[in-house]
Amino acid sequence: GTTGKPKGIQRDVGGYAVAMAMSVRCIFDIAPGQVMFSTSDVGWAVGHSYNVYGPLIGGATSLLYEGLPTRPDPGIWWYLCERYAVRTMFSSPTGIRVLKKQDPEWLRKYDLSALKWLFLAGEPLDEPTAHWITEGLGVPVIDNYWQTETGWPAITLMPGLDLKPVKFGSPGLPAPGYRMKVIDEASGAEAAAGSKGVLVFEPPLPPGCLTTVWGDDERYLSSYFAHFNELLYSSLDWAIRDADGYTTILGRTDDVINVAGHRLGTREIEESVATHPAVAEAAVIGVRDELKGQVPVVFATLKQDAGAQAGQVAHAMQQRVVDQLGGIAKPSRVYVVNALPKTRSGKLLRRSLQALAEQRDPGDLSTLDDPGALEEIRRALERGPDQG
């Protein structure tokens, strides 16, 4: 995965094969002899499922391509679709946002008459991007939602079985085998249509989903099934379900940021940054980014007498993250400050940091220990990053 460390998810192999076969046929509308092109890197969950297992189990041809969507030119994906008569393509919103910066004529340069579907997943698909690529290609763009834990799409429009109407912004309706609710976190009751809550699945989970965490059943139960009084699998994602049953995903409930479809724990990045000997403390937040969805941003305090080295230390922090967690986790910006905003109990106010970085109201600050710390952050944002 993103960090090179396995999540430890255990699946029933036979059940996984069943899920892949059903997914490829009913969700991705692939039949034997057809061509599927997934642009995912092999290290991501989509890589093995839809670059390898899925198409081959379904008797289809899998097209593999290593490289950026802009090299040697922004038409490379569509050239490949023409040359190999690709029928189904699977990519991410981030990949499409990269192409959005290019001349739309690249979308019309090649013969895409064989292309029937473009599926996108990995992070929420914004409506402007969905409209842009739909109009540019002239084929249906199908969003879908799933997790590494589910192994295959949990929310989809099932175009291979019975295509439901597309609502831009929503991946659709539960796939067969999934019984879902949106639960109000405070009351534990099912949220009303249009109200925000936590997306949960009622067990038993369908074939293909995780069955436990390898060698640690207790962690499996506490991580996924212990969030409510009822026995419910928590996706740890905020969601809204409308009156028609369409679900819209709003983002993670925990401290996880989504960078180009890769979910990164802020704590992991903080711990990596803190390994630098000059760093006293660090807070990592996810900040909105037009291209990647979110990017990691670091606010750090340095140990005494290290202030003069701010730029050098900031660069070294970024490099440590790259070395330890991979390039996808590299902080976009690093701000070296004199103090970080905390509550009187010592908890870092990450939500307030994020709000200031995104030029939003930081909200209730009644628990703030030192108001000067927040002003320090404001000044740092006005001054600009020490690295990035």
214-249 pLDDT, tens digit each: 999 999 999 999 999 899 999 998 899 999 999 998
Name residue 353's amino acid: L
Phi, psi torsion values for 235, nearest 5 degrees: -75, -15
% of the chain exceeding 70 in pLDDT: 94
- For residue 3, what pLDDT is reported? 42
Cα Dmax for the chain: 66
Name residue 169's amino acid: G
Strand order in the sheet with 35-38: 61-63, 35-38, 88-91, 117-120, 141-143
Beta pairing class for 247-252 and 256-259? unpaired
Q: What is the 3-state secondary structure (H, E, C) of 202-241?
A: CCCCCCCCCCEECCCHHHHHHHHCCCCCCCCEEEEEEEEE
32-66 pLDDT, tens digit each: 999 999 987 776 677 788 998 899 999 999 999 88
pLDDT at 212 over 60: yes
The top-scoring range by mean pLDDT among 6-10, 115-119, 128-132 is 115-119
For residues 69 and 105, the answer to whether their CB atoms sit within 8 Å is: no
- For residue 174, what pLDDT is reported? 97
Write down the pTM of the prediction.
0.72
- For residue 1, what pLDDT is reported? 37
347-366 pLDDT, tens digit each: 678 888 999 999 998 877 77
How high is the mean pLDDT of the chain? 88
Which region holds residue 306: left if phi is over 0, alpha if psi is between -120 and 50, else beta?
alpha
For residues 388 and 333, the answer to whether their CB atoms sit within 8 Å is: yes
166-183 pLDDT, tens digit each: 999 899 999 999 999 999
Q: Which residue has the tokens 């109009």?
A: 135
Phi, psi torsion values for 387, nearest 5 degrees: -155, 135
Q: Which residue has the tokens 């929420």?
A: 124
Cα gap 297→280, rounded to integer Å: 17
Helices (H), 110-252: 127-137, 217-224
285-317 pLDDT, tens digit each: 999 998 998 999 999 988 876 656 889 999 999
Please choose, from the candidates 348, 339, 350, 357, the residue with its C-alpha nearest in 3D space to the C-alpha of residue 302.
Answer: 339
Cα gap 95→78, rounded to integer Å: 13
The set of residues, in sequence order, having a beta carbon less than 8 Å from that of 219 and lying 6+ positions away, is: 213
pLDDT at 73 over 50: yes
More confident residue, 344 or 263: 263
More confident residue, 55 or 263: 55
- For residue 306, what pLDDT is reported? 64
- For residue 2, what pLDDT is reported? 39
Which region holds residue 102: left if phi is over 0, alpha if psi is between -120 and 50, else beta?
beta
Structural domains of the chain, ranges and CATH numbers in brackets: 9-251 (3.40.50.12780), 256-383 (3.30.300.30)
pLDDT at 24 over 70: yes
Cα gap 348→151, rounded to integer Å: 34
317-338 as b/e, with b when 16 or more CB fall inside 10 Å? bbebbeebbbebbbbbbbbbbe
Q: Which two tokens stand for residue 381?
A: 């944002």
